[in-house]
Structure 1
Amino acid sequence: MSEASEFDRYGGPSAVLPDRAGQAEAFDAIGRLYDEAYPHKDGQLAAGRRLAEALPPGSRVLDVGCGTGIPTARQLADAGHHVLGVDLSSGMLDLARKNVPAHNAEFRQLDVAALRAEGPDGVGQFDGIAAFFSLLMLPRAEIPYALRLLHGLLRPGGLLALSMVEADLDDAGIPFLGHTIRVSGYLREELRQVVRDAGFDIIDEDTYSYAPASTDVSPSSPLRSTRGGPDPEHQLFMHCRRG
Structure 2
Amino acid sequence: MSEASEVDSYGGPPGVLPDRKGQAEAFDAIGQHYDDAFPHKDGQLAAGQRLVDVLPPGSRILDVGCGTGLPTARQLTDAGHGVLGIDLSSGMLDLARKNVPADNAEFRLLDVAALRAEGPAGVGQFDGITAFFALLMLPRDEIPYALRLLHGLLRPGGLLALSMVEADLDDARIPFLGHAIRVSGYLRDELRQVVRDAGFDIIDEETYSYAPASTGVPPEHQIFLHCRRG
Q: TM-score, normalised by structure 1?
A: 0.90
Q: Distance in 2 between matches of 1:163 and 1:51?
A: 14
The Cα of 1:132 is off from its aligned counterpart by: 0.2
Is structure 2 residue 84 aligned with structure 1 residue 84?
A: yes
State the alpha-carbon separation in 1 of the partners of residues 183 and 85 from structure 2.
21
| Alignment partner, residue 117 of structure 1 | 117
Q: Bigger CA drift: 12-21 or 124-133?
A: 12-21
The aligned length equals 227
Instruction: Answer yes or no: is 1:61 the counterpart of 2:61.
Output: yes
The amino acid across from 2:105 in the alignment is A
Matched residue type, 1:44: Q
Distance change (3 Å), C-alpha of 1:170 and 1:126:
same
Q: How many Å apart are 1:102 and its aligned residue?
A: 3.6
**What CA distance in whole angstroms lies between the structure 2 residues aligned with 1:130 and 1:102?**
19
Deviations 1:35-77, CA, capped at 9 Å, x for gaps: 0000010000000110121111100000000000000000000
The secondary structure found in structure 1 opposite 2:103 is coil
Partner of 2:221: 234
Write the distance in 1 (CA, Å) between the matches of 2:132 and 2:203.
17
| 1:67-112 CA distance string (max 9 Å, x none) | 0000000000001000000000000000000000240000000000
Deviations 1:198-219 (A, max 9, x none): 000000000000011123xx21
Spell out the pairing of 1:192-231 with structure 2 (5 A cutoff). 192-215=192-215, 218-219=216-217, 230=218
User: Do the aligned partners of residues 40 and 130 (structure 1) sit closer, same or farther apart at CA in structure 2, a change above 3 Å counting?
Assistant: same
Q: Which structure 2 residue ranges, 5 or more long, are not aligned? A: none
Q: Distance in 1 between matches of 2:31 and 2:7?
A: 31
Contact 1:165 1:185 survives alignment (8 Å)? yes
Across the aligned residues of Structure 1 and Structure 2, the Cα RMSD in angstroms comes to 1.7
Aligned-residue identity in percent: 86
What is the distance in 1 between the residues matched to 2:97 and 2:9? 28
Structure 2 equivalent of residue 73 of structure 1: 73
State the match for 1:147 in structure 2: 147
Distance 1:24 1:84 in 2: 19
Alignment gaps of 5+ in structure 1: 220-229
Contact 1:147 1:195 in 2 (8 A): yes
